[in-house]
């Protein structure tokens, strides 16, 4: 299996777990967590955690675009996020009840402005599967953009899947959903979502829902929450019980379920094995707060020796740098620049250029990257990619080479694009003025 392209939302989740009794017009004690979320981003992160090569397409606001790119890159996701200059990244307040139920208050923000320019067919390069979340089909412009990509994927021979994902937002459309997702190999839905899609009333049984969906889709996977799941294809029906595990936060369990199923199914597993993998992944998601897997330990991203440069995540760094360039402030030169660096403890950090009317006060993207390095408490950079807004690499200027020297050393690898091997900083800055000069030549 090659890569999976996920199209869906990126959201800032605010998870509220009340710890005191309900009351009106007064304070209620609660545990409040701020975590990254969004069905598309969650599913992409879980796929990456399972070892799948995954790319996420979506839209975020300019204020926190760099943060989302960095977090997804650290999770192993190749991001292709459009940056909205006017509308903030979407937000959800999730109130978790004692019994694990949730109430969600959603502002879709920049997600609602997904457009054709955000979903070019180039995103399908290197992909073998397209997965779309239902939230990406709510607004007409976004729906048209997804439809074009959906058809392009079919033309290229990619398999396709869809997660309905939202009865609340899609309830007004009903069976139109079948037209939007025609040809999908797999559909994920809970019973309520399935009834809406098929056009059944609330009295319809689960069997009725599955039968209706099987008329349109090759594989139907019905998510049943704490009861597990049912998967069906033709006459074959598999009932899959839930995996054991405590519930800390159910947010993102359905997203993890989809990722677990796709990882197994795309690898050729039969329905029982794929369904069991899905419930295991869902159980893992419910064991911690938030909808994504905990970020991998720093050691898992430890860089390879300089001689093994192909082991470094250059594509991830390039994508992160390009996304960072979208947030740059460059009204004078018109050259927006982004920088992304891999630290010695495995984090991916970013920076962008910030120009000033007094030109000499301009801050290069590499300066922002080094500031992020120190703010994160990391010690040094091991690999850096600097690109313009067009995605083409840039070589750090002389001042930035000196700045990077103090924060990465002469063995720091500088990206020169996919067509050339990276360069050591020592090659770009021969005979440098370093800390050793100060230590050996200062007056006593």
Looking at per-residue confidence, does 345 or 296 come out higher? 345
CATH 3.40.1190.20 location in the chain:
3-286
Tell how strand 423-424 and strand 30-37 pair up: unpaired
Angle among Cα 76, 10, 318 to the nearest 5 degrees reads 40
The pLDDT assigned to 257 comes to 93
Where is pLDDT greater, at 65 or 210?
210
* % of the chain surpassing 70 pLDDT: 91
Structure confidence at residue 245 as a pLDDT band (50, 70, 90): low
Which residues participate in catalysis according to the annotation? 366
Question: Residues near 11 by Cβ (< 8 Å), separated by ≥ 6?
Answer: 36, 37, 38, 39, 41, 89, 90, 91, 92, 106, 109, 111
Of 292, 259, 227, 257, the C-alpha closest to 15 is 292
Q: Which one is predicted more confidently, 238 or 85?
A: 238
- CATH topology for 298-440 is Cytidine Deaminase; domain 2 (3.40.140)
Angle, to 10 degrees, between the axis of helix 253-266 and the axis of helix 39-49? Answer: 50
- Is the CB of residue 259 less than 8 Å from the CB of residue 281? yes
Average pLDDT over residues 92-103: 76
Residue closest to 295 by CA, chosen among 58, 16, 46, 52: 46
pLDDT digit string (tens) for 214-227?
Answer: 999 999 999 988 88
Residue ranges, CATH 3.40.140.10, the chain: 298-440
Q: How far apart are CA 167 and CA 363, in angstroms?
A: 47
Q: Which CATH fold topology does 3-286 show?
A: 3.40.1190
Q: Where is pLDDT greater, at 282 or 173? A: 282
Q: What is the pLDDT of residues 1-26, one digit of tens each?
A: 579 999 999 999 888 878 877 778 88
């Amino acid at each position: 299996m090659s890569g999976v392209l996920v199209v869906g939302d990126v959201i800032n989740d605010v998870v509220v777990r009340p710890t005191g009794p309900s009351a009106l017009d007064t304070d209620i004690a609660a545990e409040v967590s701020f975590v990254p979320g969004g069905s598309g981003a969650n599913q992409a992160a879980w796929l990456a955690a399972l070892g799948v090569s995954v790319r996420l397409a979506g839209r975020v606001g300019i204020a926190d675009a760099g943060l989302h790119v960095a977090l997804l890159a650290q999770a192993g996701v190749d991001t292709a996020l459009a940056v909205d200059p006017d509308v903030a990244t979407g937000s959800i307040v999730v109130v978790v009840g004692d019994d694990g139920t949730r109430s969600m208050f959603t502002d879709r923000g920049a997600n609602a402005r997904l457009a054709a320019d955000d979903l070019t067919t180039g995103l399908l390069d290197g992909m073998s599967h397209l997965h779309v979340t239902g939230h990406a089909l709510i607004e007409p412009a976004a729906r048209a953009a997804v439809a074009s990509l959906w058809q392009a994927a079919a033309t290229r021979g990619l398999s396709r899947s869809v997660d309905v994902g939202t009865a609340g937002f899609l309830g007004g459309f009903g069976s139109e959903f079948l037209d939007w997702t025609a040809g999908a190999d797999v559909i994920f839905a809970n019973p309520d979502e399935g009834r809406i899609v098929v056009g059944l009333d609330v009295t319809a049984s689960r069997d009725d829902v599955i039968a209706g969906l099987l008329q349109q889709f090759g594989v139907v996977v019905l998510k049943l929450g704490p009861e597990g799941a049912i998967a069906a294809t033709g006459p074959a029906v598999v009932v899959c019980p839930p995996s054991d595990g405590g519930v800390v936060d159910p947010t993102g369990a359905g997203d993890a379920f989809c990722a677990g199923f796709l990882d197994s199914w795309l690898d050729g597993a039969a329905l029982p094995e794929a369904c069991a993998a899905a419930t295991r992944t869902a159980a893992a998601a419910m064991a911690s707060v938030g909808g994504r897997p905990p970020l991998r330990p720093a050691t898992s991203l430890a860089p390879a020796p300089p001689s093994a440069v192909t082991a470094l995540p250059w594509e991830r760094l390039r994508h992160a740098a390009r996304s960072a360039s979208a947030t740059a402030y460059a009204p004078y030169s018109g050259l927006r620049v982004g920088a992304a660096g891999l630290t010695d403890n495995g984090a991916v950090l970013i920076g962008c250029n910030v120009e000033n009317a007094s030109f000499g006060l301009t801050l290069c993207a590499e300066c922002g990257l080094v500031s992020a390095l120190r703010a994160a408490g990391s010690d040094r950079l091991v690999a850096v990619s600097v690109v313009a807004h067009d995605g083409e690499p840039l070589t750090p200027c002389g001042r930035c080479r000196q700045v990077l020297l103090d924060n990465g050393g002469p063995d720091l690898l500088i990206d020169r694009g996919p067509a050339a091997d990276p360069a050591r900083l020592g090659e770009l800055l021969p005979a440098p003025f370093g800390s050793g000069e100060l230590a050996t030549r200062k007056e006593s």
